[in-house]
Amino acid sequence: MAITQLKIKHVRNLNNVALRPDPAINLFVGENASGKTSLLEAIHLLALSRSFRTQHIKHVIQHEKEQLTVFGQISHSAGVEIPVGVARQKDKLIVQIGGKRIQGLNQLAEMIPIQVINNDSHKILESGPQYRRRLLDWGVFHVEHHYFGVWQRYIQGVRQRNSALKSRKGIKELKIWDRSLSDLGEQIDQLRTNYLSGLRPLFTEKLEKLAGINVDIRYRRGWDKDQSLGEVLERTFLRDSEKGFTQFGPHRADLQFYCGSVPALEKLSRGQQKMLVSALRLAQVEYQQLNSPRRCVILVDDLPAELDHYHRQAFLKLLSKDMGQIFITATEANLIQFEGLPDYKMFHVEHGEVRPAVVEH
């Protein structure tokens, strides 16, 4: 899988951009405010129909325009290309795959597995557990496609349970529903646990290469490790009714990072935290590609700027190791070039225009 053609209209300062990305590595070079992050944002919109910078699409649509569109030609299996288009207005979203309008966005997400590495990446360590769950679920979803359905049914079940607990209606039926809720919850936990056992060695290897440190990932499943979810739901039923919500289950799971017995956040420098999250995301990409025929798209925004020469080289080397289709931005070309760089395409970004640069390989 790779994006072979990209057409972007009215995404921030990108008025009308068309390019043919390389299936492996794409470098975008341009001054500040030229439109580099907007370009990555447009690719993210194509993959997930939303931005990684804001939840407010009106900030992304070009000033004075009604709608943004991103169109991509996606090479699927050998010789097969599928057109994908995303159009967003303030209150309306239209997604088309292969010329047909689709409703459920998981079909889009499944098609283009995407990871973003930028200067905000480390925030995932200190922000709420929902962000780390989302990261974990990204991985499970792209390896086990039935995960989405299980997870969706579980979340629906929790919502119904919570509203029954609040309104105190249908409390009797709740005990029966709890059986199916605990089944789904246990399945989610099992899939997450399996995923993490595959991911850990890849993460360890990458973090060692990137930063020469060792960090453990600890998984908190969201309820007592010695009891089944069914037992916990029963035991905490009264307390849940008082509180009006379901306190335990995989919707409360979390990932924690430790250097020995010390939380990584307390020990690692900001730069090391960034490497940790980069290693985690790159490990997810590798694991996904080992377990599924789909290749990932990786967006790397401005990251090299904050790294010293040695760590930048280590990072770029890892990236270039058949890690899917990569889009990297930088303010200067020499920040993202390195010895042994495989084939790539370079583009110049200037005042919202993107042009292929002539490069000597």
Q: In the bound complex, what is the minimum distance in angstroms from residue 57's beta carbon to ligand ADP? A: 10
The structure tokens 């395409």 sit at: 345
Q: Closest CB to ligand ADP among 64 and 242? A: 64
**Residue 13 found at the interface with ligand ADP (CB under 6 A):** yes
State how far Cα 15 lies from the chain centre: 26
| Helical pair 270-291 and 309-319, crossing angle rounded to 10 deg | 10
222: exposed, middle or buried (Cβ count in 10 Å: 0-12, 13-18, 19+): buried
Partner whose binding site includes residue 30, from Mg ion, ligand ADP, none (CB under 5 to 8 Å by kind): ligand ADP
Residue 92 token pair = 């309306």
Q: Angle CA(65)–CA(45)–CA(109) in degrees, nearest 5? A: 150
Partner whose binding site includes residue 62, from Mg ion, ligand ADP, none (CB under 5 to 8 Å by kind): ligand ADP
The structure tokens 């709608």 sit at: 67
- Judged by CB under 6 A, the residue of 1, 22, 24, 38 near ligand ADP is 38
Partner whose binding site includes residue 187, from ligand ADP, Mg ion, none (CB under 5 to 8 Å by kind): none
Question: Residue 302: what are its φ and ψ, rounded to 5°?
Answer: 60, 5
Q: Are 305 and 330 in contact (CB under 8 A)?
A: yes
- Identity at 88, one-letter amino acid code: R
Q: What is the C-alpha separation between 158 and 141, in angstroms, rounded?
A: 20
Q: Are 36 and 329 in contact (CB under 8 A)?
A: yes
Instruction: For the segment 264-283, give every residue that binds Mg ion (CB under 5 A).
Output: none
Count of residues of this chain found to bind ligand ADP when the rule CB under 6 A is applied: 13
Q: Closest CB to Mg ion among 37 and 278? A: 37
Binding to Mg ion by CB under 5 A, coded x per residue (else -) over 37-56, reads: x-------------------
Q: In the bound complex, what is the minimum distance in angstroms from residue 301's beta carbon to Mg ion? A: 6
- Judged by CB under 6 A, the residue of 18, 33, 171, 262 near ligand ADP is 33
Q: Are 210 and 271 in contact (CB under 8 A)?
A: no
Instruction: For the segment 17-36, give every residue that binds Mg ion (CB under 5 A).
Output: 36
Q: What is the C-alpha separation between 215 and 276, in angstroms, rounded?
A: 8
Question: Residue 13: what are its φ and ψ, rounded to 5°?
Answer: -85, 5
Q: In the bound complex, what is the minimum distance in angstroms from residue 281's beta carbon to ligand ADP? A: 20
Partner whose binding site includes residue 357, from Mg ion, ligand ADP, none (CB under 5 to 8 Å by kind): none
**Residue 12 found at the interface with ligand ADP (CB under 6 A):** yes
Q: Judged by CB under 6 A, which stretch of 29-37, 89-97, 201-209, 213-221 contacts ligand ADP?
A: 29-37
**Residue 121 found at the interface with Mg ion (CB under 5 A):** no
The structure tokens 């790159």 sit at: 282
Q: In the bound complex, what is the minimum distance in angstroms from residue 299's beta carbon to ligand ADP? A: 12
**Residue 63 found at the interface with ligand ADP (CB under 6 A):** yes
Q: Judged by CB under 6 A, which stretch of 33-41, 105-113, 124-132, 150-158 contacts ligand ADP?
A: 33-41
Sign of CA dihedral 221, 148, 194, 187: positive
Q: What does the DSSP assignment read for 132-151?
A: HHHHHHHHHHHH-TTHHHHH
Q: Closest CB to ligand ADP among 62 and 273? A: 62
Please give the residue ranges that form the binding site for ligand ADP (CB under 6 A): 12-13, 30, 32-38, 59, 62-63
